[in-house]
Amino acid sequence: MRSHKTCAVIPDTRSVIRDPEDRRVRRLRPLGSGFRLRRPRNDGVLFIFIIALLALSACSTFAPPPPPLPTSGPIAYACANGAQLMVDFESEEARVAIIGGPSMVLPRTGEGAYSNGRYALHGQGASAQWQVGRAAPVSCRGS
């Protein structure tokens, strides 16, 4: 086992001290009113850690945000029951085209509500609810 020798450190010394029997370089760092010896950092491990972190971050994929819904013109809705709608909102009506089905004009019956008695659409923008007859409303997402 190797014995440790102490070195006298002058507080105004701001250089590197090399112990004649120790091959490692020790650097000074401020501590309160004076300085104390500390071991040099292992920069190789830090470098490897940063490279590994960058490599792992390159593997992750970020999905781009969906494009914003149009402020005018038709909006395509995909509903939870599989129905696909193209809806064009106008001031007092909504023109609805069911993909693979009929098209209709639904008059406005309230704030964000359109119905002709048989078909009803509630909501605008990114989410809406589609209802046919007395069936439960189905949620739909706009795109």
Cα 136 from Cα 81, distance rounded (Å): 11
Cα 86 from Cα 143, distance rounded (Å): 10
Tokens 């406005």, residue?
A: 108
pLDDT digits (tens, 9 = 90+) for 8-36: 455 544 455 555 565 555 555 555 555 55
* Architecture of the domain spanning 74-142: Beta Barrel (2.40)
pLDDT value for 139 = 93
Cβ count within 10 A of residue 139: 14
Listed by start position, the domains of the chain span 7-43, 74-142
Which carries the bigger pLDDT value, residue 137 or residue 54? 137
pLDDT value for 82 = 92
Residue type at 100 in one-letter notation? G
pLDDT digits (tens, 9 = 90+) for 25-76: 555 555 555 555 566 566 777 788 888 887 777 666 666 666 666 656 788 9
pLDDT value for 111 = 87
Which carries the bigger pLDDT value, residue 3 or residue 65? 65
